[in-house]
Amino acid sequence: MASCLPGAEFDPDRFPGLIYRIKDPKAATLLFSSGKVVCTGTKSLEQARVAIRKVIKQIEKADVHIKDEPDIEVQNVVATFDLGHNINLSAVALSLGLEKVEYEPEQFPGLVFRMDTPKVVLLLFGSGKVVCTGARKPKDVEEAVNNISRDLRAAGQFH
């Protein structure tokens, strides 16, 4: 399969899947011998669908028959946003509850917050920039933004 997909990378000693990148939409797909495909890097579900269709066409050109339209399941939405305010991470660590927070500034400049509802992980930085990962749908990200903003306001981080 690696020889049939232009630019594909396959080194089973390093990674068990074939890595195939496409430019439009920009995406990387990981193809496994089980038939599973992981598509990463797209900005929307529609872009993921387009990328997967392109990969399928390339695979079919290599005389590999794909029997059905693939079921696409979003497993991880990653989003970034800016709270618009600097935040004091030491104070935030205390206010959010130490059992849900990892903050070791000498190891990593951000605070890791494991939110219960929605079940996501937020990386908060002193600049007010935040990375949200683990969401299953964009609505989870919106809810996480609203929840962390509320919690930070309650902790006196901004008005």
Complete DSSP assignment for 29-98: EEE-TTS-EEEES-SSHHHHHHHHHHHHHHHHHTT----SPPP-----EEEEEE-SS---HHHHHHHH-G
Q: Which long-range contacts (CB under 8 A, 24 or more apart) does 46-53 make?
A: 48/72, 48/74, 50/25, 51/22, 51/25, 51/27
Q: Are 102 and 115 in contact (CB under 8 A)?
A: no
pLDDT band at 159 (very low <50, low <70, confident <90, very high): low
Is there a single domain that holds both residue 66 and residue 81? no
Widest distance between CA atoms in the chain: 62
Is there a single domain that holds both residue 86 and residue 58? no
Q: Are 112 and 123 in contact (CB under 8 A)?
A: yes
Q: Are 101 and 90 in contact (CB under 8 A)?
A: no
Domain count, the chain: 2
Distance CA 159, CA 149 (A): 10
Residue range 51-82, pLDDT digits in tens? 999 998 888 888 888 877 888 888 999 999 99
Range of the domain at 120: 77-154
- Mean pLDDT value across residues 7-25: 94
Q: Are 48 and 27 in contact (CB under 8 A)?
A: yes
Decide which of 70, 90, 110 is a domain's last residue: 70
Is the pLDDT at 21 greater than 70? The verdict is: yes
- Mean pLDDT value across residues 89-100: 92
Decide which of 46, 70, 94 is a domain's last residue: 70
Does residue 159 fall inside a structural domain?
Answer: no
Does residue 132 fall inside a structural domain?
Answer: yes
Cβ neighbors of 111 (< 8 A, separation 6 or more) are 89, 92, 93, 101, 102, 103, 123, 124, 125
Which of 60-64, 82-86, 89-93, 112-116 is predicted least confidently?
60-64
Is there a single domain that holds both residue 64 and residue 1? yes
Instruction: For the chain, report the end-to-end CA distance as a whole number of angstroms.
Output: 56
CATH of the domain at 124: 3.30.310.10
